[in-house]
Amino acid sequence: MPAGPTDSAPDPAEIYRAVHDSPEFREIRTRYRRFVFPATAAFLLWYLLYVVLAVAAPQLMARPIAGPFNTAWLLGLLQFASTFLLTWLYARHARDHRDRAALGLRWETQDRLR
């Protein structure tokens, strides 16, 4: 049977606007930003430090540590290690502080769309 004028389907745009304006969604975004912005700034500073040292202090970067392994190699490998560490920290933070709340919001939104 086709929907008549008395049957009112939920307006998805209104539902998503309501979710976007909800305190729960704002809290999820706030927690995300509290982690991501400082972590991004710290990682970029760490990366720029490596580049600046490579340009401004080549004698320091060329200092041998063990055999052909020098300071530049050590700092370069630490760049990779810090990337993996940051990825792990992000996943842990998302799991502990945002995932459950976001899933609850998703279920609520899906229920309202039905």
SS3 label, residue 41: helix
How far is residue 12's CA from residue 112's CA, in Å, rounded to a whole number?
A: 9
Closest CA to 73 of 54, 57, 86, 55: 54
Task: Note the pLDDT tens digit of each residue in 6-44.
Answer: 467 789 999 889 889 999 999 999 999 999 999 999 999
Q: pTM, whole model, 2 decimals?
A: 0.78
What are the counts of helices (DSSP H) followed by strands (DSSP E) for the chain?
Answer: 5, 2
CB 71 within 8 A of CB 61: yes
Largest CA distance in the chain: 82
Task: Note the pLDDT tens digit of each residue in 31-89.
Answer: 999 999 999 999 999 999 999 999 999 999 999 999 999 999 999 999 999 999 999 99
Rg value, the chain, Cα:
24
* Residue 52: alpha-carbon gap to chain centroid: 26
